[in-house]
């Protein structure tokens, strides 16, 4: 499984994002495949993405709203893969691990996976660049 984070999803929606073209290249490379077979995100990423798009997705507030609604519907419909709904126990576990792991990277050829063997999920780990931003490969 490959984990999709908010940065990837926002770059897909926002044509002004510097990673917009790269995200489209990555998705194009997987055209014809069932994304739910290998892409995963969480309900928290869905909520964060909708909020970010509604605040910064476009200069025009009406367009921002429409983009936020569109991406929310796409995410909930599974267009970008499965959405895992985190349980209260998982949220607690994630909050205690937060300081030990680097932030998750954008999709695409990451340096290596960390496997959560109890759930069979893979979360790609990558250190941020010198500016603190996660970069796609």
pLDDT at 80: 87
pTM comes to 0.68
pLDDT at 112: 41
**Count of the separate structural domains present in the chain:** 1
Beta bridge partners of 115: 122
Contacts 24+ apart (CB under 8 A), 115-119: none
- Asked, for residue 136, whether it belongs to a domain, the answer is no
Domain that holds residue 43: 2-124
pLDDT at 53: 95
- Asked, for residue 27, whether it belongs to a domain, the answer is yes
- Asked, for residue 34, whether it belongs to a domain, the answer is yes
Q: In degrees to the nearest 10, what's the CA dihedral of 73, 77, 83, 86?
A: 70
Domain containing residue 36: CATH number = 3.40.50.1010
- Asked, for residue 47, whether it belongs to a domain, the answer is yes
- Asked, for residue 82, whether it belongs to a domain, the answer is yes
- Asked, for residue 135, whether it belongs to a domain, the answer is no
Q: Cβ neighbours of residue 5 under 8 Å, at least 6 residues apart?
A: 41, 45, 103, 104, 105, 106, 134
- Asked, for residue 129, whether it belongs to a domain, the answer is no
- Asked, for residue 71, whether it belongs to a domain, the answer is yes
pLDDT at 107: 38
Q: Cβ neighbours of residue 62 under 8 Å, at least 6 residues apart?
A: none
Helix ranges restricted to H, the chain: 6-13, 20-29, 43-56, 61-76, 88-97
Local mean pLDDT, 10-residue blocks, the chain (137 residues):
88 90 87 85 93 94 95 92 87 67 40 38 43 48
């Amino acid at each position: 499984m490959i984990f999709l984070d908010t940065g990837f999803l926002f770059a897909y929606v926002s044509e002004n994002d510097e990673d917009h073209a790269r995200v489209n290249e990555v998705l194009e490379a997987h055209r014809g495949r069932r994304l739910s077979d290998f892409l995963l995100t969480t309900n928290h990423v869905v909520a964060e993405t909708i909020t970010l798009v509604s605040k910064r997705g476009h200069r025009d507030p009406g367009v921002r709203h429409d983009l936020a609604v569109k991406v929310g519907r796409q995410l909930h419909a599974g267009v970008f893969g499965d959405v895992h709904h985190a349980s209260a126990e998982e949220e607690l576990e994630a909050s205690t691990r937060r300081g030990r792991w680097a932030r998750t990277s954008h999709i695409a050829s990451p340096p290596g996976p960390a496997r959560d063997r109890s759930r069979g999920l893979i979360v790609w780990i990558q250190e941020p660049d010198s500016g603190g931003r996660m970069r796609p490969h």
